[in-house]
Amino acid sequence: MLENNIKIVIDKIQNVCFRSGRNFSDINLIAVSKTQSIEIISDAFNYGLINFGENKAQELKQKAEQIKLNLIWHFIGHLQTNKVKYVINHAEYIHSVDSKKLADEINTKAEKINKLQKILLEVKTSDEESKFGLQTEEQVFELIEFCKSKKNLEVVGLMTMAPFTEDEISIRKSFSNLRMLKDKINSCGHNLKELSMGMTNDFEIAIEEGSTMLRIGTAIFGERNYN
């Protein structure tokens, strides 16, 4: 089932890229592996997946220390400053930076291990109360400048979560707003390459709107068992 699910997802990504004029090679598929076992993650790696995303800091640490494979870890959940110590040794990318306090703590921990930490700034592009992220352009520009002053941080892109809705117009607006914000930032002399947007329910729209990082869990691993 897992191998077939991966094939279906990759086929869909290729089809959307073809019809929207995107290069398949520009898309990074991140398998969201929260609650999945070491064995299942290892199987997914053997079926060709390289990038894996975790939402919980201690779960990422535990898995990264147990899995001795050459995969790339992404931390994609909301990160509290006191949990940075769990992810800093393992996450190639941290997608969810939304404050100077968090950025400063990541920089401090990265400096101790002589690491240049790749980060994305999380931007709130919907009105949902449950969503995290920076809420204004001014906040985003301020945080970028703050991060540029830190020698152990590299801002590589922006991340968002679309509203949980069937309304394609709302989803598309969320993604297009993030893309336009990235373009505006880059027109001011920055060089952001990544847009982390699109999950199981909306990744095809995300590709059409310029996503470079898809965070897909259910379509790959099936419905999660939280027991």
73-130 pLDDT tens trace: 999 999 999 999 999 999 999 999 999 999 999 999 999 999 999 999 999 987 766 6
**Is the pLDDT assigned to residue 226 strictly greater than 70?**
no
Q: Give the Cα separation of 74 and 154 in Å (integer).
A: 15
Predicted TM-score of the model (pTM) = 0.95
19 CB-contact burial (10 Å; exposed 0-12 / middle 13-18 / buried 19+): exposed
CA atoms within 13 A on the CB side of 170: 10
Q: C-alpha distances in angstroms, 186 versus 161, 181, 191? A: 21, 9, 5
CATH 3.20.20.80 is held by the domain 2-220: no
Confidence grade of residue 38 (pLDDT, cut at 50, 70, 90): very high
Q: Is 127 helix (H, G, I), strand (E, B) or coil?
A: coil
165-183 pLDDT tens trace: 889 999 999 999 999 999 9
Confidence grade of residue 4 (pLDDT, cut at 50, 70, 90): very high
What does DSSP assign to residue 25? G
pLDDT at residue number 129? 67
CA atoms within 13 A on the CB side of 50: 6
As given in the structure block, the two tokens for residue 53 are: 């995303």
Domain spans of the chain, in order of start: 2-220
